[in-house]
């Protein structure tokens, strides 16, 4: 009888040829938190403690605030410019509005950069943990193979 574990279920080959499935986890949230805790422990042991979440989110929050301030200020400048008739005053309000549009673009760039950096950081950490686990599996398999060949008394 063979047994393979997949995400949350165990599939066992039966005599009739069909798979029999059963739920191996009683609570999916507990399994996810266990995986997350194991991942965080592996990361902390391999690359040191990660930076606090509050320190990592500063650029993202700053970008969102800059976008909001730029949008509101641009609208306020637009509404204020509706009452003007002098082209020189209108030009100065246009320059001010363009400055706030630039603030919106800078805020969006900061937000995208921070979000992308976080995604790449998590992807790199996942790859690091997976490659270390793969290396450990290979070392264990090679150790078992060497122990088996030494136990057979194969002469060299």
Quote the pTM value: 0.56
Q: What are phi and psi of 20, to 5 degrees?
A: -110, 125
Extents of the domains making up the chain: 53-139
Rounded distance between C-alpha atoms, residue 103 and residue 72, angstroms: 11
pLDDT of residue 53: 62
Q: What are phi and psi of 8, to 5 degrees?
A: 85, -10
pLDDT tens for each residue of 28-44: 566 677 777 777 776 66
pLDDT at 10 > cutoff 80: no
Rounded distance between C-alpha atoms, residue 70 and residue 111, angstroms: 14
pLDDT at 76 > cutoff 70: yes
Handedness of CA 78, 83, 85, 88 (dihedral sign): negative
pLDDT at 69 > cutoff 80: yes
pLDDT tens for each residue of 81-132: 999 889 999 999 999 999 999 999 999 999 999 999 989 988 998 898 888 8
Radius of gyration, CA atoms only, the chain: 29
pLDDT of residue 12: 40
């Amino acid at each position: 009888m063979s047994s393979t574990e997949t995400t949350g279920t165990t599939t066992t080959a039966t005599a009739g040829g069909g798979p029999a499935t059963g739920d191996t986890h009683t609570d999916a949230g507990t399994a996810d938190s266990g995986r997350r805790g194991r991942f965080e422990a592996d990361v902390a042991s391999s690359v040191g403690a990660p930076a606090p979440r509050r320190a990592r989110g500063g650029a993202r929050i700053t970008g969102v605030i800059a976008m909001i301030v730029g949008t509101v200020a641009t609208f306020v400048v637009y509404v204020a410019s509706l009452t003007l008739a002098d082209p020189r005053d209108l030009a100065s309000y246009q320059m001010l509005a363009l400055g706030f549009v630039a603030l919106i673009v800078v805020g969006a760039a900061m937000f995208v950069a921070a979000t992308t950096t976080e995604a790449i950081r998590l992807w790199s950490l996942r790859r690091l943990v997976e490659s270390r686990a793969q290396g450990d599996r290979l070392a264990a398999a090679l150790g078992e193979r060497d122990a088996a060949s030494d136990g057979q008394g194969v002469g060299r």
